[in-house]
């Protein structure tokens, strides 16, 4: 079995635990995550640990044959700790401490908190590190949630100055790298440098970008402290962290490098409501989520996980935290679960076993209602449990074997946010739109960092990537793949300055000779025609094309819109969905890939010999290429899933 659940024994009478465990097991669940918010129960007063209840809870789960995912409780330091060390509280951009009374009220740079966290992690790891039922670990919970990566504290300032000194060695080097001569911002020593906040107008962009890098590195350091402690006291157990959906405020690749399993928390309906999508899109996929949203995240976390990635928290019904919280359509919990496995998940764990009747999340559904009836999500989870062994037998747990890579980068998000030039230049949106265009062509996609090996891909798609690694062009060329570069690629150096030879920089310009001599950003009610093929939005690179470069389409005013030099394409703008799809289809076909547009709302994934088909629509879909079905049948009901062997192979 590969299903899990998040469980909070401390929320319920101990008299309920045994029955809970038995019902979990009966439902088909075998992994139970616990204790990530239980610090005040583990250590109700300074140094007074109370293990009894937790011992009993773990033993109860173990007795039912369940494995435990044990957590460190550092996401919620208790009140007594805050009162002893008020410097734990993070400082907001307004200069005020962010108070106790919810969660994540800690500053990654606080020395007090680092020490207190070492202590509690050590205590927990020692206590349960070798418990036979403790099979996995999770560090903390959702690093960065509620905008907590960055803190403007004295501790952060002190560590930032040291970080800068480490990076630049001398203040002259920093002044030169940033270009502080502009507006007389030059520093005479590292101690003159402040945090980039509350300035009269925008702070220096290089200063801001380095502060974001520093803040991200503080998360890495904090997490590594925890993984080191866990590994010391709990050998052989994989260590995970539960990342968030489309979250970009720290470099997930760096944190994941210290983990065994990258996991993520999947709430497709809340995400749809809170992200950039137009109101019409939000209405259209209201109760299903966007057909590519969970997949995008699956592919992000699969790419950075050493062992198969997990969904650590799977939405089982309505959530409580979006502006509006609709209920998933019947079938969606099952569909989402299967979609995770189709993308290579090692486990899908539902959040939470039972809806809590109190506190902030009391309106967040669970597999069971607060009056302990099995809810719709629980029923669908049990259906998945019943089908899963059949599928594992057939697909042999073969890895996803994507031929298409999409480059995904965290610094790009920070850089474009700091230095947008057009206020709606939202990197995750554009990366997602590229991904969605690929998925709408039926392509499986690996999402990879810019420094990943690229040899195994036939098509490499690069959403706007301002800073490219030194050897990026070389690796692209060596791959032999068809390449599509988005606008603004190579537009900045590491220090957030313009490359000497102008974008896309000397190295990429060797692959596709061109020079971006001017750019413009466009307000939402302005678009530009691209030949007869479609429209562009948001942005234009105005390009002087070099020798041998083929202009595949021009804008109406004659500037090149789509350029190609052999297998390298450069897109001067962000295009409408149909045009983006058409360009990617051309590139995929040039790469020898099978790429035909799927009907709207239909998505497929392939794993080993199996095709997984997901119907996000509210009308049935008929499958015409199936040889045999493992799950479902030819007529796929609304919100239905089919898993089958096709009678001809694609790709």
* Residue 58: CB minimum distance to a second copy, A: 18
What tokens appear for 341 in the block? 């496995």
- Specify the residue, 322 or 590, whose C-beta has the smaller distance to a second copy: 322
Distance, CA of 269 to CA of 618 (rounded, Å): 16
Task: Check if the beta carbon of residue 150 is closer than 8 Å to that of residue 215.
Answer: yes
Task: List beta partners, residue 642.
Answer: 613
- Specify the residue, 203 or 307, whose C-beta has the smaller distance to a second copy: 203
Which residue in 448, 437, 406 sits closest to 586, CA to CA?
Answer: 437
* Residue 328: CB minimum distance to a second copy, A: 9
Binding residues: 103, 141, 321
- Specify the residue, 15 or 280, whose C-beta has the smaller distance to a second copy: 280
* Residue 42: CB minimum distance to a second copy, A: 9
Which residue in 70, 93, 472, 381 sits closest to 233, CA to CA?
Answer: 70
Distance, CA of 642 to CA of 268 (rounded, Å): 20
CA–CA distances in Å: residue 63 to residues 18, 22, 55, 56, 60: 9, 9, 12, 10, 5
- Specify the residue, 183 or 547, whose C-beta has the smaller distance to a second copy: 183
* Residue 46: CB minimum distance to a second copy, A: 10
Binding residues for substrate: 103, 141, 321
- Specify the residue, 184 or 648, whose C-beta has the smaller distance to a second copy: 184
- Specify the residue, 15 or 182, whose C-beta has the smaller distance to a second copy: 182
- Specify the residue, 1 or 51, whose C-beta has the smaller distance to a second copy: 51
Distance, CA of 397 to CA of 386 (rounded, Å): 17
* Residue 390: CB minimum distance to a second copy, A: 30
- Per residue in 316-349, is it b (16+ CB within 10 Å) or e — as a string? bbbbeebeebbebbebbbbbbbbbbbbbbbbbbb
CA 430 remoteness from chain centre: 15
280 Cβ contact list (under 8 Å, min separation 6): none
SS (H, E, C) 10-75: HHCCHHHHHHHHHHHHHHCCCEEEECCCCHHHHCCECCECCCHHHHHHHHHHHHCCCEEEEECCCC
What tokens appear for 37 in the block? 């918010």
Distance, CA of 131 to CA of 236 (rounded, Å): 12
Question: Hunting for tokens 């502080």 — which residue is that?
Answer: 180
* Residue 305: CB minimum distance to a second copy, A: 27
What tokens appear for 450 in the block? 């810019």
* Residue 93: CB minimum distance to a second copy, A: 10
Question: Hunting for tokens 């629509």 — which residue is that?
Answer: 617
CA 382 remoteness from chain centre: 27
Q: How far apart are the first and last CA of the chain?
A: 30
**Residues classed as catalytic:** 142, 313
584 Cβ contact list (under 8 Å, min separation 6): 434, 437, 438, 441, 459, 461, 484, 595
- Specify the residue, 520 or 625, whose C-beta has the smaller distance to a second copy: 520
* Residue 5: CB minimum distance to a second copy, A: 17
CA–CA distances in Å: residue 356 to residues 101, 217, 491: 18, 35, 49
Distance, CA of 177 to CA of 190 (rounded, Å): 14
Considering all CA atoms of the chain, what is the largest pairwise distance in Å, rounded to the nearest integer? 77
Pairing of strands 514-521, 534-545: antiparallel
Residue 582's H or E segment, with its range, is: helix 577-590
SS3 493: coil
* Residue 69: CB minimum distance to a second copy, A: 18
* Residue 542: CB minimum distance to a second copy, A: 7
SS3 208: helix
Question: Hunting for tokens 């990197």 — which residue is that?
Answer: 427
- Specify the residue, 326 or 609, whose C-beta has the smaller distance to a second copy: 326
- Specify the residue, 196 or 632, whose C-beta has the smaller distance to a second copy: 196
């Amino acid at each position: 079995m590969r299903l899990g659940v998040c469980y909070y024994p401390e929320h319920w009478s101990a008299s309920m635990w045994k029955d809970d465990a038995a019902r979990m097991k009966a439902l088909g669940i075998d992994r139970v995550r616990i204790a990530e918010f239980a610090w005040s129960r583990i250590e109700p007063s300074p140094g007074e640990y109370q293990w009894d209840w937790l011992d009993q809870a773990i033993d109860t789960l173990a007795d039912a044959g369940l494995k435990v995912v044990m957590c460190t409780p550092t996401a919620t330091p208790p009140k007594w700790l805050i009162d002893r060390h008020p410097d734990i509280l993070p400082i907001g951009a307004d200069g005020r401490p962010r108070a106790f009374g919810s969660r994540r009220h800690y500053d990654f740079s606080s020395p007090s908190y680092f020490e207190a966290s070492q202590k509690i992690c050590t205590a927990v790891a020692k206590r349960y590190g070798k418990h036979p039922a403790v099979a996995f670990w999770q560090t903390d919970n959702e690093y960065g949630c509620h905008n907590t990566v960055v803190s403007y504290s004295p501790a952060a300032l002190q560590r930032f100055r040291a970080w800068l000194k480490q990076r630049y060695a001398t203040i002259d080097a920093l002044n030169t790298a940033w270009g502080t001569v502009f507006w007389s911002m030059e520093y005479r020593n590292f101690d003159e440098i402040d945090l980039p906040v509350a300035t009269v107008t925008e702070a220096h962009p290089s200063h801001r970008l380095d502060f974001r890098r520093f803040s991200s590195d503080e998360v890495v350091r904090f997490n590594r402290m925890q993984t080191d402690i866990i590994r010391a006291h709990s050998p052989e157990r994989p260590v995970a962290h539960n990342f968030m959906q489309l979250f970009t405020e720290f470099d997930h690749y760096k944190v994941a490098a210290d983990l065994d399993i990258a996991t993520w928390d999947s709430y497709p309906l809340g995400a749809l409501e809170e992200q950039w999508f137009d109101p019409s899109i939000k209405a259209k996929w209201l109760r299903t989520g966007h057909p590519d949203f969970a997949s995008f995240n699956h592919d992000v976390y699969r790419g950075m996980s050493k062992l198969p990635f997990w969904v650590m928290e799977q939405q089982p019904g309505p959530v409580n935290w979006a502006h509006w919280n609709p209920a998933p359509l019947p079938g969606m919990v099952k569909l989402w679960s299967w979609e995770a496995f189709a993308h290579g998940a090692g486990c899908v764990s539902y959040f939470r076993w039972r809806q809590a009747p109190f506190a902030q999340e009391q309106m967040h559904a669970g597999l069971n209602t607060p009056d302990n009836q099995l809810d719709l999500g629980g029923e669908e989870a049990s259906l998945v449990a019943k089908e899963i062994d059949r599928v594992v037998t057939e697909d042999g747990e073969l890895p996803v074997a994507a031929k298409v890579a999409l480059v995904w980068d965290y610094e790009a998000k920070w850089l474009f946010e700091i230095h947008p030039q057009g206020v709606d230049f939202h990197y995750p949106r554009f990366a997602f739109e590229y991904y969605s265009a690929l998925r709408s062509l039926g392509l499986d996609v690996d999402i990879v960092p810019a420094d990943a090996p690229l040899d195994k891909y036939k098509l490499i798609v690069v959403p706007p990537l301002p800073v490219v690694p030194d050897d990026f062009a070389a690796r692209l060329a060596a791959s032999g793949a068809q390449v599509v570069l988005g606008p603004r690629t190579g537009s900045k150096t590491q220090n957030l300055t313009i490359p000497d030879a102008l974008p896309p920089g000397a190295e990429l310009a060797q692959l596709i000779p061109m020079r971006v001599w001017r750019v413009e950003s466009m307000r939402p009610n302005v678009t530009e025609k691209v030949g007869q093929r479609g429209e562009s939005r948001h942005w234009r690179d105005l390009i002087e094309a070099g020798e041998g470069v083929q202009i595949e389409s021009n804008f109406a005013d004659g500037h090149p819109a789509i350029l190609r030099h052999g297998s390298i394409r450069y897109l001067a703008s962000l295009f409408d969905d149909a045009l983006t799809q058409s360009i990617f289809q051309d590139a995929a076909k040039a790469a020898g890939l099978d790429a035909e547009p799927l009907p709207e709302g239909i998505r497929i994934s392939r794993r080993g010999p199996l095709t997984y088909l997901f119907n996000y629509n509210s009308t049935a879909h008929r499958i015409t290429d199936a040889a045999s079905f493992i799950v479902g049948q030819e007529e796929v009901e609304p919100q239905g899933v089919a898993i089958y062997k096709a009678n001809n192979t694609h790709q």
